[in-house]
Homo-oligomer: A and B are copies of this chain.
Amino acid sequence: MSDTKQNPGAEPLESFETSFPSSHKVFVEVEHGPWILRVPKRRIHLSGDESALDVYDTTGPQGIDVTKGVPPLRKEWIAARESGGGSNVSQMHYARRGEITPEMTFVAEREGVSPEFVREEIASGRAVMPCNINHPESEPMIIGRKFLVKINSNIGNSAVSSTIQEEVDKLHWSVRWGADTVMDLSTGDNIHETREHIIRNSAVPIGTVPLYQCLEKVNGRAEDLTIDLFLETLEEQAKQGVDYFTIHAGVLLRYVPMTADRLTGIVSRGGSIMAKWCLAHHKENFLYTEFERICELMKRYDVAFSLGDGLRPGSIKDANDEAQLAELKTLGELTEIAWKHDVQVMIEGPGHVPLHKIKENVDLQREWTHDAPFYTLGPLVTDIAPGYDHITSAIGAAIIGGHGTAMLCYVTPKEHLGLPNRDDVKTGVITYKIAAHAADLAKGHKGAQDWDDALSKARFEFRWEDQFNLCLDPPTAREYHDATLPADGAKVAHFCSMCGPNFCSMKITEDVRKYAKEKGLETAEAIQAGMQSKKDEFRDTGGKFYQPTNS
């Protein structure tokens, strides 16, 4: 591996145009009250008479000065609401009052549904729109089982390596390839400053695990953590504009011993910190006992809960065990409390789960946490492939997404082994876009099938350039093609590199179809009636499979 890849901050990111040739950003304008909302899409232009394809776009404003950050898209919307003077500014609060916010109208256009439908889903708690009032730069997006499946990428420095510039680059790189939200999991020095840079430059919601910063403040002594310190840290981060907090309030004292006989104990960092606190004090988790105080804070900024699964399984062996399920039930109890305050909630899920136990996770999550959006890490369906855990987990992610999980937290090839570099981030995001899109197809989401059909049609018609441009990762597809057939002529050739000209099944099929249509032979009966007499005529043309067009 080259040094430049290990130190990606040294190289500028490739441009939007390099990543997506023949694409450009378009903005659909939607009126909402006094405002014109400009909803971004990526338009993929195709050759000839083919219609362009518009796809969901997470890339955010381009060409922005990192020291200045992206424009505050929502600033006026938020200000207009604040003039109302309410102490609860959550989207759920407005939704439950019957109010359709500009944010709801915005996501309605993005998702191809009505604003009223968005409002209902948020009011019911089945969907979440993470949008802190102090993060006006964010382009509204929604997370819920009735919407497109979303993906999250994790970035963040640790004590061991990486710089702020690298983290902002990872943010931009994540959203370039399709990350819908980004979690800043920094744990080392400069935690506040790193986060500030990330939020000011992010057009997607940012999540954090505030416990990590709290622990820095007490020099790593878990037993010194207090609710006051925790609330102070939440306030600090909420003021910066963090859109959702992972909070491990379901790790109860009585659940900790349930993990003692596990193969891999407690693998969640937050979970193990809170477990240690509980044992040291022999008290109940203060995040649980003081949960309503946390709710009071969250609603003043509209920060959403991502209720953490601190007792998630860390191995196939531990999947769906007593500790995991006990915590899940508690998360359901906490969900009801948060909803009482009109605070938005999603529920985090595992982790490591074999294929046959995945659906049970979704079924129990829906039942016990009242259909709050589920947000899962993978799950990995086997433990034996470190180095390929983006794949082991994408298998589980696609399946759990197909069952209705609303957001999938990505895993990179470096999971369990080291910190992801820029290439790993891209691989993780693309892999999770695959899982999310596969789930969208299975759920029959409007528009998802169109993308597949456009690409398959381009493939069948030998429109190579269109095929590349329609890919999730156009540069890689082109590079792979060119590795075998680099000549420009090959991109218009009526055969592909796998089979050579005499064996191209698509060319043969095209001939079959054309022949059948010319002769009006579109049904089996017609063939029976008409083919025999035409046989000799066909043979007289030479009957060759392939008449080269460019030789």
Contact = CB atoms under 8 A, between A and B. Distances in A.
A110 to B, nearest CB: 18
A257 B523 contact: yes
A91 interface: no
**Integer count of this chain's copies in the complex:** 2
Nearest to A315: B456
Contacts of A405: none
A439 B395 CA distance: 11
B434 A391 contact: yes
A509 B257 contact: no
B449 A276 contact: no
A524 B259 CA distance: 11
A356 interface: yes
Contacts of A394: 391, 394-395
Contact of A442 (B355, B391, B455, B479): B355
A470 interface: yes
A515 B275 CA distance: 12
Interface string A486-523: 00000000001111111111101111110111000111
Interface string A468-485: 101111001101110111
28 contacts: A6-B483, A158-B499, A187-B499, A253-B527, A254-B527, A260-B516, A260-B522, A264-B457, A265-B509, A265-B512, A269-B503, A275-B512, A276-B508, A282-B532, A282-B535, A315-B452, A316-B452, A317-B456, A352-B456, A384-B434, A384-B452, A384-B470, A385-B433, A388-B434, A391-B434, A392-B434, A418-B483, A419-B498
Contacts of A524: 253-255, 257-258
A316 B215 CA distance: 49
Given A480-B414, A527-B282, A473 B434 contact: no
A203 interface: no
Nearest to A514: B260
Name which of A459, A473, A501 has the most chain B CB atoms within 10 A of its CB: A459
Contacts of A220: 502, 544-546
Interface centre among A437, A510, A526 (most CB of B within 10 A): A437
Contact of A418 (B158, B383, B387, B485): B485
Interface centre among A263, A275, A391 (most CB of B within 10 A): A391
A227 interface: no
Interface residues of A, number: 139
Listed from nearest, the 8 A-B pairs whose CB atoms lie closest are: A418-B484, A265-B509, A159-B500, A315-B456, A282-B531, A355-B442, A272-B508, A254-B524
A294 to B, nearest CB: 22
A388 B472 contact: yes
A438 interface: yes
Interface of A: 1, 6, 158-161, 187-188, 212, 215, 220-223, 253-260, 263-269, 271-273, 275-276, 279-282, 314-317, 352, 354-356, 381-388, 390-392, 394-395, 398-399, 402, 413-414, 416-419, 421, 430-431, 433-435, 437-439, 441-442, 449, 451-453, 455-457, 459-460, 467-468, 470-473, 476-477, 479-481, 483-485, 496-506, 508-513, 515-517, 521-524, 526-528, 531-532, 534-535, 538-539, 543-546
Contacts of A468: 386
B544 A221 contact: yes
B253 A497 contact: no
Given A159-B502, A434-B392, A546-B220, A452 B402 contact: no
Given A314-B456, A356-B442, A437-B384, A477 B417 contact: yes
A441 B257 contact: no
Contacts of A268: 505
B510 A265 contact: yes
A484 B513 CA distance: 55
Nearest to A273: B508
B275 A500 contact: no
A493 to B, nearest CB: 11
Contacts of A272: 505, 508-509, 512
A460 B315 CA distance: 10
Nearest to A256: B512
